[in-house]
Every structure is written in C-alpha cells, then in structure tokens.
Structure 1
C-alpha cells in the first residue's frame, strides 16, 4: 500500500501529491492526471473525495518524480493499484507536478449551489461557490444527468430541463466548471467528472442552467 502525502498547500486537504517509494519521497507527473486520480489520493488520506486535480507548480516542485502516466478509474484503494508507467519510469520534468484538492463531509461543503435569475425558485442559472465567491458552469457536455444532481442538491426531486447558452442570463463571476459528466445518481456535483476548477474554454454566453421539479411534474 503506497504512502501518500500532500505538501505545499494552504491546508492539509490540498497540495502536490508525493509518494513514498523505496525509502524516498517523490512527486507524480502530470501526464494524464485528472480528477479520478485525485479522488484515489484523497480517499487514501481519509477524505471523502476530490474537488480538483491541479497540475502546475502552484504547490511547489518537490523532489524527483516517481510515478508517471497514472490512470485511475477513481475507485481504487491505492494509487499503485491504478495503471501507471512504473516507479521511476518517466519522461517528465519538475515544471508541472500532480496535485489534489480534497474535501470531507459537508465541512467545508463541496461546491455549494444556487440558482439565479429564473422566473421562479425552481429554475435559473447554476452558480457554484468556491474560494469564497460565486461562479458559473459552462454548458459544454451539460445535460439532464448533470441537472438532476443540481436539482437534488437543492432539495428538488429531479430536473425537467438543462438549458445552456445563458438561457437565464450571463453570470459575472469566474467560470468555475466545464465539461461536467454526472451519471445523474451523484449526491453532490463534486462527485461528478469535470475538467478542474477554473479550467475551461468558455464564455459567459455558455452559462448553464436548470429547471427543477418537486412532486407531480
């Protein structure tokens, strides 16, 4: 079982991923690193899941890389159970290393949600809270499965529609999430696949919305 730590973050729930192997600590290359991989790291450390899988020098560079080409499906018990290129076999530099931002339970609540600018309380532009401010969601790959998760988070039974193209007007904050891929059964948007916080190629003309329902449709 691999021993993992997060270093360089502002708290113990975030940082660059380091793996202890052969008596020394090393980082993980960013090749193919995504939210599924970060989820495994976070759960290994006792967290519930991952909000983001940043690849940058945001958390510092660390020492030499140990793992490369990590490909988890997100359900593994250990990072070493995932497909990878092998320990010490890599073709990467220390410029960008794999990181993780983890969460546990409702505190801090992962991705608080609100609906804005709808004609009633059950519809509107989807806005997500992160880092103390509200941002929007891009409509790339946005569909009814994603809307269902949003609606249930807000206490509704389900979703009638998942309109994009700023149907409920354009937001003004950051575009926080893009290419969201929920199955529709998740309890929280944080459990769905996405590109990463702030990673998008969108404009506010693509802001996503939902129309929710309760009781009889």
Structure 2
C-alpha cells in the first residue's frame, strides 16, 4: 500500500491519462464559434487548466472551463490538447494531460470575382457589375453583404450582388473591385481589380430645325431653334449662329444630343440664314444652313364693293374685294353674306381677292370677309349693300303728267322711240304697268307731244305684239322691220293712280337725264 502511494506521488508529470478528456468539433467554417472543453473525473480537484494548440499554450484557466474561439479562421486549424494540475492529497498536486483533438477550419467562401458586362463600353451605355462567389451547401443560407468600389470610392453597399450603372461616362473610367462579407463582417474577401475604359463617340450629323417646323416664323410669336446630332456622347456644346453676320445667338452644354434655343418676339429683322454647331471634344461639326422667312400674320382686312355708295340694282354684277396689304402670302380670303358663306379665294402670292355676284333683291344685307394665312384669321368690318329694282327702261315724254306722253325705250344707254304699227291698248296696258301708273286710257300719236323726236334718235321697236299681261314692254314679242319714221311714234295715256304694292316695292329713281326738262318746253316727268 505504501509502495503504491509512493509510486503515484512521484510519477512523472505530463503523462497522458484518462483522468482528463478533451471535447471539440473536428471541423468548422470561417466565422464559426468553436468551443474546446477539457474536463476531469473530478473537476473540483482541478487547480489550473491550460489549453494548447500545436504544442503552444493558448489559454490558462484556474478552474474547469471551456476555451471559445469566437470567430474561427483558417489559421485556427491544428491539434489541440489541455493539461491540468489536480490535487492529489493534502498539498501534493500532479499534472494530467488530455488526448489530442484535431480541428480543421474550412473556407466559408472563396474570394469573389468581379464580372463586368462590358469592359470597354461607349459613353451612355448601361454597365452591370456582378460580385460572384459561392457558399458550401451546408451554409447556403448564409446571407452575404456586397460592396462595390471604384478606386477608393464606395459605389454601393447592400445585399445585392450586382450593381448597375444606367449610363456610364468617360470620367467613370478606372479600376473597379468588390467585396463580399458576412452580415457581422466576421468573414470578408475582396475581388481583384478590373479596369473599365469608357469610350466617347464623336458628334456627327448636326441638324438645325425649328419649332414650329418649317422655314416660317410668325411676327410677334416665339421661334425655337433646335440643334441635334445623329451621334455623339458625353458633354456636348451646342452653338447657334446667324450666317450673314456670324453673330452668336447662344450656347448650351450638357450630356444630350438635342438642345433648344428660344427666340421670343420674332419680327421682320429676324429673316435670314442660320446654322448651328456641336462639339464634344473630338471635333466641331456644323449643320446645313436654314433659311428663315418671317411671316406676317393677317391684320383686319378691308372689304370694298364696286357699287357706288354700296347702292346697286338687281341684275348688276357686283365685285366684292377683300384685301390685307401686309399679310404674308399665301392668304385665304372668305366672303360672307350675313352668316352665309359665299365662297373663298386663295391668293398664293399676296394681294387682294375678289368675289363676283350677279345681284338680286335678296342680295341686300350685310357683307364681310375674313383673311387667314396659317397663323390666325381676322374679319373685316361689315358693309351694308342696298339692292334695288332696276329703273324702268321705258318713259313717257312731254305729256301733261308722268303717265302720259311719247313712248321711249332705252337700249345700251340710248333712248329711242316706238313705232305705232299695231300699237293698241294691250301695248299701252303693259307700258302703264311697267311705269307703275294706273290703267291704260288712250293710244295717242306720239308726234302730238312736242318737241318731236330728234331725227338722229333711233326707233327701237317696230311692232310690239303684247298680250297685255307682260310686266315690261321688252317682254313682248316684236317684229323687227324698222321702216317707221318719227311721224309714226307711239304715245300712251295712263291713269296717274299708283298702286300701293308698287309703292312698297319700288323707290323713286331720279334719272340723270340731260333732257329731263326741255328748253322752254313743258315739264318732263322722269321714270321711277
């Protein structure tokens, strides 16, 4: 018994025994928490517990405890064991050593690779960066955080493994890289750098246009010059010029292929030739010349008529003339009778337009015209036209009153007599009706009404074959032999009664007759 006690007391230290054991996982992944536990048969007898990795002391505890690796790394792989000093009896302590445990820490994910949709994009293109890595199947649910960088500048950080630049520019050229990390940043790896070279497209195909489109500008309105290019990227400087003076009208710069320059309050002085230029640093290009014509909008047109003092007779031809002297052609003129449209006339080279009417009594009323030349329309002032029945083309000369005398008719501006061949009361009745007199009374000879007709005065009607119902002598059938002299001139006597219906429809017409009163002769009654 004593011998055994002595053997235990003086046994060599650090000898592996079953009294102390080690418990630990065989493998782990980067970032895992790894716990190494050493315990004895009676932990209460442990005075000091020491943990070793690869023969190196890594931690010492003064009681039975565990050693925790909170964030496992590849370098934590290796052999682990522990030693303890336990109380043998009284003040005698012995050293116990555990068996060896092996830990292998696996890589959670490899260093990511940066994938670029285009390493040599053209300015304005969309470029996508992807940060690609992979997780082991056992940790496929691990959430990774991604960051994208250009040089030392962070472009994006978050859970998305891709970053899209909707439009890349020349100054975006440079080295790009990305980083993948766990949510707590316990594991982090960066990609290698990828260089992106952004190419600029020189400007070409400069075109100068206007809004509104076309080569017309309207006085008093706004004209917009639009300069555009077919191709060209990056910052482009657009400039506008007047060709004949080389005057610079304005300049705009930006990342666009189309720019506008507004010119308010256009007037006649703005007519001329214009062009624009575009330059994005690779050479200036110039547009073709655009000739601008300033079009003057219509003002209030002037409407006139060919009728003196706007008085006319039924049967006359009336010319309505509408004119705007300043409006730029082409001008479209419209003519109106009250609210009724008569028609329109287009004047392609400017000037006035005319509209011809063959007048009837119904043409009395208000007239106006309207002019328009593509910008606006303007109406003239209204004129009022009075259309009367034409004066009778027959008269009774040198009688006692206006309804008695020698019968004379007018043809082509000359007055002549009527032969009394076949002259009867039916013929006189027509004459009386045409003159607005009363009933026919007699068919006297015309020669009794002095003075007699002049020798050179023609005889216009030889025989009038009236049936008595005609409205005018000119409507009666006639025989044209003309062998009468003024000694056979016809006369007529009518009642002087004037029917009310005639008064309502006719106004008295005072003829401008040089012989309305014969010298030293009887009173002459001109026709109505």
> TM-score normalised to the size of structure 2?
0.20
More strand by share: 2
More relative contact order, 1 or 2 (CA 8 Å, 6+ apart): 1
> TM-score normalised to the size of structure 1?
0.46
